[in-house]
Structure 1
Amino acid sequence: MSAFETRRDMFNLPEGITYLDGNSLGPLPKHAVDQTRRTMTDQWGEMLIMGWNKADWMALPGRLGDRIGRLIGAPVDSTVVGDTLSIKVYQAVASALELRPGRKRVLSDNGNFPTDLYMAKGLIDSLGQGHDLKVVDPEAVEDAIDESVAVVMLTHVDYRTGRLHDMAAITRKAHEAGALMIWDLAHSAGALPVDLAACNADFAVGCTYKYLNGGPGAPAFIYVRPDLIDQVRPALSGWLGHAAPFAFDLDYRPGEGISRMRVGTPPVLQMAVLDAALDAFDGVDMADIRARSIELSEQFIAEVEASCKQVELASPRDPHARGSQVSFRFEEGYAAMQALIARGVIGDFRAPDIMRFGFCPLYNTGEDVSRAAAVLSEIIASREWDQPQFKTRKAVT
């Protein structure tokens, strides 16, 4: 029995479903149901408001931050959980810009997740201080880093193709130019080894509902380099980032360390789910997850390309140059994905023509891969996708 077979039993995987969309939303960890029920009945139900003290709800953001920190190479007390990823992006960019007052450029690439670009553009428009957002091709990022750049903001793994940036090299280039580095780990955390401390990253953010399996709407996290945190002024000065929230001062004083990056009240029930979900990573080496992920993705590419010539690989051919997903281009990709889902193989679609498949060794198997490849080939070869019900766009693709 492989090291991951017992982990698969920790997840609720509906019978007859091959789930290759954990890069978009992880499945339900079975243990999360009981843990959330206990949080509701034994804590909220019995303790009422006393749960903030008796159940130590207030400490959840930091405790969960440290559990995630282990998976992303972050030292203890440098990561905190709360709010949404958009909020955490805003915090990171705003703080970084303040730390480089003489510079006016935020540099990103067109493989970045659009929300990150929206938040950065909205922030600099609100500041009205002459900042600009420069967006280049992913391959052009390093050459675009110069002394005009205040902040480099990138998503580590491209959400569309899975292309993987060289975190250490780009961070080093940013620092050599005097810029600060922000990494979005939405498609990295829990999927592949990340070592923020070793590469000296300044900020990192990420969501917890993908590979970390925290459930729809699970809170995001933010990391700040420990030697930098006391210089950071939180742009979103929420009451739980205050040094003494229950002193109810009218003036804001930032909390010590990473606690100053807290904003609003912790979503306790959602954090209970995330806490349970992270149990699946206990005792697991991220290098082993990465090795198995590469095996699964390589198997998928080989089997699809051997039987389905109509699709084109959109992900990097080199497995070490992509994250834990494989994307194929197909002109009718949306309809083909809907046909796949109707047959019990779940991936997702990203415009204009990309079918995405995520590989999560905690619960995906070689049998999952073979079934998905076979069903995809059947659907394409038979033109099963060419039906009206598969071409009607839904709200979520």
Structure 2
Amino acid sequence: MHETTLPIRTPLTRDFIHGALDVEQTEAGILPHRLPAWARVQCPDAQLAMAESQPSGVRLVFQTAATAVELDVLATKRVYSGLGPRPDGIFDLFIGGQLARQGSVQGGRILHIDMSTGATTVTGGEARTLLFGGLPPGQKTIEIWLPHDEMTELVSLRSDAPLDPVPAVGRRRWVHHGSSISQGSNTTHPSGTWPAVAAVRTGFDLLNLGYSGNALLDPFVARAIRELPADVISLKIGINLVNKDLMRLRAFGPAMHGFLDTIREGHPDTPLLVVSPIFCPIHETLPGPSVYDMDALAEGRLLFKAGGSADEGRQGKLTLGVIREQLRAIVGQRRAGDPNLHYVDGLELYGPNDNLRLPLPDELHPDAASHRLIGERFAGLLRSASLR
């Protein structure tokens, strides 16, 4: 952190934070979470813990006449063995709903991840200061979107004019659950994730419950969604069930029905979109698990490939094609008594022709341009669903 000349220090309270379900007090400051505390203790999985504490869709929102704002943060950077350094997380600053500034901080904690064993070690670090200066004068609403895939503890907030929190009252709430694609893997900045693109275009107040590697029909996620206020709910299900090789065909249907039943206990009439997987060539007909391409990794490139075989698919392992068929059938069966339930074919968001033009750079996750494409297409569906 550097010496500040900004005179007003504003306490960082829950009122300033949108898009989180919980805020944890840490030694450094406060840490937003995208799962409630009661749910986090039900699954002590390291990848889920990392994903839900990475603030995809989380924003600081306030009204102010300030022309300069400083935010001290303690970031946790990831370093993967065998790969080059990852870019620093980006902070997007919006003024009146328009992207106006971007910034990042270097340094912080370092999370070292061994790609071959999964072992992790953490190196300590210090908070750093992010300055947004030269902001236009006069009263305005500012949103600072936190990095979508970099755990960020908020330490201190300063400005040259008072900051007042902005309640989300009056805005339509969209609750979305999905995988790393929904969290934003391979896009470059937080408002560039496909849910953020759709939310900004439609004016929805986004709650992004996309957890990298963890869209797995976990009951605690369904219970969390059940208890939340929501005007529209969407569930993007499939890729993690395949690439984790977590579930067979016999278990998938009842688990999906149970997930929907739980949500409907709290939201009997809320528009609910069930979104099947986007196109992913390695898993269209081959089941998981997804494994690293070790030859590519030896060259410093991250690529995935399918670890399952066609014979295993015939024995009940899931593929993306099978999941699309099952989701379409499940939604069709339930719609007789649930007209606000809708099926969205993921191939309409990103299909084979899109893959020819915008291939998945690591064979699994879309790039920034594809995130934008998916978000723009989903925005139309979101508007339509919210009018029903």
Give TM-score, length-normalised by structure 1: 0.23
Structure of greater relative contact order (alpha carbons < 8 Å, 6+ residues apart): 1
Q: TM-score, normalised by structure 2?
A: 0.23
